[in-house]
Amino acid sequence: AQSVTQLDSQVPVFEEAPVELRCNYSSSVSVYLFWYVQYPNQGLQLLLKYLSGSTLVKSINGFEAEFNKSQTSFHLRKPSVHISDTAEYFCAVSPYSSASKIIFGSGTRLSIRP
Amino acid sequence: EAGVTQFPSHSVIEKGQTVTLRCDPISGHDNLYWYRRVMGKEIKFLLHFVKESKQDESGMPNNRFLAERTGGTYSTLKVQPAELEDSGVYFCASSPVGRLNTEAFFGQGTRLTVV
């Protein structure tokens, strides 16, 4: 079985400050890794994903995440946040062997202060 | 191209009533999934259709939940009778053939409140 732990339920930061949203997972099989984002009053959107290859993956809006197999982590970072990044962020995994399911963490609500 | 569409966006019903949620996937997507988020907890898998066939329904909580996908297009999720613990946000997602969860697109969700 797989599980995903997002250590922080809420992260308040000031605009233009850096941010890191932490994610650890547990799995006995290899997994794909994802970060999804839900902006206020919108649906879930895929922010970035790691399938294979380079362990550092980036989104079009400046977020990046690094897959660390030894620490079973996939933390999300951004060097300088904007008000528009206010949203809830979900870390998720999907096992290679049964790719029909996504297993989500409980979400981290990122709030940006001006 | 239209995304995944869910109806209604909100629903408030009394305990014991019946509610039907609808999901229209992206055109041509054979894979359709239902997920649920209860009370700010993690989003949990309910079931997976490939066209009109249920591929995996291991996440369905009990027999009060019935999902259908007639003709392999839109899907409905019926809760009958609804209980208080069914309150939450129900998400639908779809993906193309062969892509499964590496390219899943989600809808906006239906917020269900059972009172």
Q: Which residues from chain B sit within 8 angstroms of residue A49, using beta carbons? A: 102
Check residue B1 and give its pLDDT: 63
Confidence of residue A99 (pLDDT cuts 50, 70, 90): low
Of A42, A43, A99, the CB nearest to B100: A99
Around Cβ A29, how many Cβ atoms within 10 Å? 11
Of B35, B101, B106, the CB nearest to A99: B101
Best residue in A25, A37, A38, A44 for a mutation probing chain B (most B CBs within 10 Å): A44
Kindly tell me if the per-residue pLDDT of A100 is higher than 80: no
Shortest Cα distance, chain B CAs vs residue A107, angstroms: 7
Kindly tell me if the per-residue pLDDT of B100 is higher than 80: no
Cα–Cα distance between A75 and A92 in angstroms, integer?
11
Residue B39 touches chain A, beta carbons under 8 Å: no
Of B41, B91, B108, the CB nearest to A106: B41
Shortest Cα distance, chain B CAs vs residue A101, angstroms: 6
Q: Which residues from chain B sit within 8 angstroms of residue A107, using beta carbons? A: 40, 42-43
Residue A106 touches chain B, beta carbons under 8 Å: yes
Q: Give the tens place of pLDDT for each residue, B6-48.
A: 999 999 999 999 999 999 999 999 999 999 999 878 999 999 9
**Phi, psi torsion values for A42, nearest 5 degrees:** -130, 175
Shortest Cα distance, chain A CAs vs residue B82, angstroms: 24
Q: Which residues from chain A sit within 8 angstroms of residue B104, using beta carbons? A: 46, 102
- Contact residues for B10 (Cβ-Cβ < 8 A; gap 6+): B110, B111, B113
Cα–Cα distance between A31 and A44 in angstroms, integer?
20
- Across the interface, whether the CB atoms of B43 and A104 are under 8 A apart is answered yes
Q: Give the tens place of pLDDT for each residue, A4-55.
A: 999 999 999 999 999 999 999 999 888 899 999 999 988 899 999 998 888 9
Confidence of residue A96 (pLDDT cuts 50, 70, 90): confident
Gap between the terminal Cα atoms of chain A: 41
Check residue B104 and give its pLDDT: 85
Q: Are B5 and B20 in contact (CB under 8 A)?
A: no
Residue whose token pair is 């009053």: A41
Residue of B28, B24, B67, B25 whose CA lies nearest to B45: B67
